[in-house]
Amino acid sequence: MDLQLNGKTALVTGASRGIGLAVVRALTAAGVRVVAAARRTTPELVATGAHPVVVDLSDPAGADRLVGQALAELGGLDILVNNVGGGDGGLSGGFLELTDAQWAQVVDLNFFATVRVTRAAMPALLATRGAIINVSSISARLPHSGPVPYTTAKAALTAFGKALVHEFGPRGVRVNTVSPGPVRTDMWQSPTGYGAELAASMGVPQADLMAGLPAATGMLLERLIEPAEVAAFTAYLASPLAAAITGADHVIDGGAIKTA
């Protein structure tokens, strides 16, 4: 399918691995010139042909610096994909064990980083009548399904997209949210990630936790979601083919959420 994106420009955050890397691959394959932001550059990211920018978006000054570099490289901006997030490691304990510092770190990375990047990029997106896609999680709808600071931050991110389109939709900027269920990323697969910590707290091997995760989360698939599947839909939402789609939270969860 021709997404009619050839020659468009995009900024993708959290781009070095997982969903972010898959989004960069999908957009560059469609002919988009991409600035890819991450805390570190990887060979896989360089191989996409995107222009990598090393930035720590937990630094409040990082957003303005990133957008400035993106506009200098691209000359304008049609698409913003806010994928930066994570920071869920070390949060497998209960609510009473979590400190203010842990809350602040997780909320800053999963919510405020997107607020800051969006604010910095909005003038350029207004000029092109562009598109914003925020990557949230079904944890926003199922807040018991993960560490409470993480799920709370994702719920704020989903609400942010709804509020943003109310203000800027009449001025031509589309805003959509993509909320995946469990995706085959380092969050679950890394030996030092949330999946490993959760398995250890349950006293089960990580491989067993992973094998049972789809059924445990109510998915109707017998596997995790692949990053490329989330990326393909994200690229579609960024394209002119989705010109009438805005202000929505799109769940990609393999049927885990059973409500309408």
Query: Which among 153, 152, 52 has a CA at the least distance from the CA of 110?
Result: 153
The angle at the Cα of 20, spanning 242 to 156, to the nearest 5 degrees, equals 75
Of 150, 188, 194, 236, the active-site residue reads: 150
Query: What are the tens digits of pLDDT across the range 98-133?
Result: 999 999 999 999 999 999 999 999 999 999 999 999
pLDDT at res. 89: 67
> Full-prediction pTM beyond 0.85?
yes
Task: Label the pairing between strands 131-135 and 33-38.
Answer: unpaired
Domains and CATH numbers, the chain: 9-181+227-249 (3.40.50.720), 186-224 (no CATH)
Q: Is 149 in contact with 108 (CB distance < 8 Å)?
A: no
pLDDT at res. 87: 63
pLDDT at res. 22: 98
Mean pLDDT by 10 residues, the chain (260 residues): 96 96 98 97 96 96 98 98 83 84 94 98 98 96 86 96 97 98 85 82 86 88 94 98 97 89
Active-site residue 150, yes or no? yes
